[in-house]
Structure formats: C-alpha cells, structure tokens
Copies of this chain bind each other. A is one copy, B any other.
Amino acid sequence: MISVSDARRLVNENCLAGRKVLLPLIKACGSVLAETLHSPIDTPPFDQSSMDGYAFFIENWNGHDALTIAGEIQAGSSTDKTLKSAEAFRIYTGAPVPAGADTVVMQEKVIIENNSITITDKSICKGANVRPKGSQTRKGDVALESNQLLTPAALSFLSGLGIREVTVFAKPVVSLIITGKELVSDNNYLEEGKVFESNSMGLTASLNQLNIIADAVVFTDDNEAEIIDAVNAVCDSDIIILSGGVSVGDYDLVPSALEKCGVRKIFHHVKQKPGKPLYFGKINDTFVFALPGNPASALTCFYEYVVPSIAIFTQADYMRHVQLPLLNDVSKKPGLTHFLKGKTKSNGVMILGNQESYKLNSFSVADCLVELEEERDEYLTGEIVKVRMII
C-alpha cells in the first residue's frame, strides 16, 4: 500500500501528453494549442478609423481653414480616390482611411457648412482616431504560443486573423466498465439484493464536464471472463476506467482479469479514505484506473487521480486548489490521507456530514474535497487546509 503522494507521482510519471489533432476553431474551445500560431495577416489589415468622423491629412492643414468633403467611406467599403490638399473624407468606424489622409476628427468636433467642415478640435494630433495597419498583429508575428488554453476570447482573436482551424492536444478516448452483479441500471424495479447503479452516471457526467463523452459504457457481472472480454473490447481507448471488484475478496476479480489482459500493474491500494483499493496500471499506451465500487470512493478517485491524468493528456488545467480555514473541528485516525466532502463559504470551508463511502448525500451538495494529511489526527476550526474545488 503506497501513500497518496507516491500514487500521485506514479500517475504523473506514467501519463503522457496525448495526440495532436487539427480541429475547426469552434470545436477547440477549452483545448490547449499544440502549435505556435503566427498571424497570417496584419490586423487591422489597413489603417482603420476608430470613429465616425472626417479623415484628412494633418500636415497639409493650417489649423483653421475649412476642408471640402470629397467623398464618403463606410465600414466595409474603400475608395480609389487619393485625398487632395484641403479635402476631407466623411468616414465611419471601421472604414479604411483613404490614401492621402492620416488623421480622423470625430464628427462631434467639426462644423459642417456648404459641403465643407471646419475642425473645432484645435489640439488634434497626427494619427488621432486611426488604428494603424498591423497595430494588433503584424503578419508573421506570433499570435498565440503553443500550450495556450483556447478561451472564447482566444478563438475570437484567431477568427479575426482568418485562422479557421488549429492543432490542439486531443481529448482522450475514455471507456467505462462498470462491474457488479448487484447493480440495476435499466429498469425501475429492484429485486431483493440488488441496488440501483450510480457510477456510470457520476463518471459519465464528470467526463462531460471535461468535454469528454465516454466512448463506451460497459456493464459486467462479477465474472472474470466477462471483465476480460470487456477490457479487450475497449483496449484501443486512451483511458479505461473500471469500477467495482477491485478489493481483495473472492469476487474482486478486476485485478486478476486485468493481469490476464496483459495490463501492467503500477500500483494497487493507496493509503487513503475513501478509495483505498484504487488500482492503476498500463497496457501499451492505455492507462487503466480501477476504482472502488462505492460511489463516493469512485468519484473521489476520479477527481484525485483520473482528472490529473486527463489533464496531462490534454495539457489543460482542470483543477483548482485553494487553501482555506476550516469552519468546524474534524478528527481522523492517523495512517490514511482523508478526502472529505466540503462546502466553501465566504470565510472558509465546512466539512459536511455523511462521509461514508457508500453515501452520496453529502457529495451531492459538496463543492470541494478537503485533503487531510496521512499522519495527522485532530484538525481544529481555523486551521488552513488544502481544498480542491469540484464545481
């Protein structure tokens, strides 16, 4: 049985960044760039007016003479005309400043008379209200560095550069195998000894939150041959997650089934509560997590170990850790790291009741997991603890 820190280290050491994949921009939100992007164009692509007003050439203007309105340029239009001395062009926000002009005066700062304008803004400077060509990006310059998270703003930016697809780190193909003879998932009636199945829902929904749709969700009995068949059927996945059957009893057949499938065990059993039976292994490039069947244990192990492995694969940072003062006392036996369901408030974190691994009612209203250290026993109100947000 290894410590939580060793288990984390082994997951980190054995998981690798995933494939690179070319995606259309809109499919890449939340993904991480796997290439450095250079701007294919200058943006703005031309000297652009930032105001509705009048474009003119400031060096040919003596500071008081009226300028004749020689034409109009709306956004989206352009003109072949070159501005002459003593001329101005009516111009609108976003329109290209015509040849022969270098400055735009706001429409509120002119007097119009007989198709000519008198500029009342005597302090106007060269280049006023003009966004120079290439002032956001220059063609060929780095637009975004590799490993940048693609937020909506980043996608909007790339869209404005005319970039339509990007190479990002792929999301992993994840398959779920839910083992347990007692589990009922497909009807509303419970025979004696059966319980409604929970883990496929919790794990599928957790994956969905990372924008991952489980590639397969397979249910098996507590039967080694069935488990082997299920693993073989999904062995082209990047990550296989099993639940149940991972402890040391006569019907805990997952470790032996995985061994017979050729999975190399990296660790089995972690000094933690809940989730002590956790198993982690690898076959070819596929990571295999076998989680305990108790729903709270399964989800805790998912958040603490599977999510970090997915984060390595996608190079995204899904985990938000904070340090908060405890709002209630809590005690535990030394020897295991505890992950407790908590609820954050403005002034700290409250440890919830019903922490048993078969109960999910506190997990249902929790927004975080609080990590209590292996060797510690008593924690008093006010002590700062490690909190991992889960919403």
Contacts and interface: CB of A to CB of B under 8 A. Distances in A.
Given A96-B192, A157-B363, A358-B50, A107 B149 contact: no
B195 A43 contact: yes
Interface string A242-277: 000001111100000000000000000000000000
Contacts of A1: none
A136 interface: yes
A371 interface: no
A155 interface: yes
B222 A76 contact: yes
Contacts of A180: 75-76, 94
Contacts of A164: 188
A149 B391 contact: yes
A161 interface: yes
Given A209-B30, A295-B156, A360-B156, A94 B182 contact: yes
Contacts of A110: none
A87 interface: no
B157 A209 contact: no
Contacts of A200: 159
Contacts of A143: 361
Contacts of A304: none
Interface string A352-391: 0010101111011111000000000000000000000011
A154 interface: yes
Contact of A131 (B94, B203, B296, B358): B358
A54 interface: no
A154 B76 contact: no
Interface of A: 25-26, 29-30, 41, 43-46, 48, 50, 52, 73-78, 92-96, 107, 131, 135-137, 143-144, 148-149, 151-162, 164, 180-183, 188, 190-206, 208-209, 222, 247-251, 293, 295-296, 299, 354, 356, 358-361, 363-367, 390-391
Given A77-B181, A92-B251, A153-B363, 11 more contacts: A26-B201, A41-B190, A50-B358, A52-B251, A151-B205, A151-B390, A153-B364, A153-B390, A157-B361, A159-B196, A160-B197
9 contacts: A46-B192, A76-B183, A94-B195, A131-B358, A151-B364, A152-B209, A153-B364, A156-B202, A162-B188
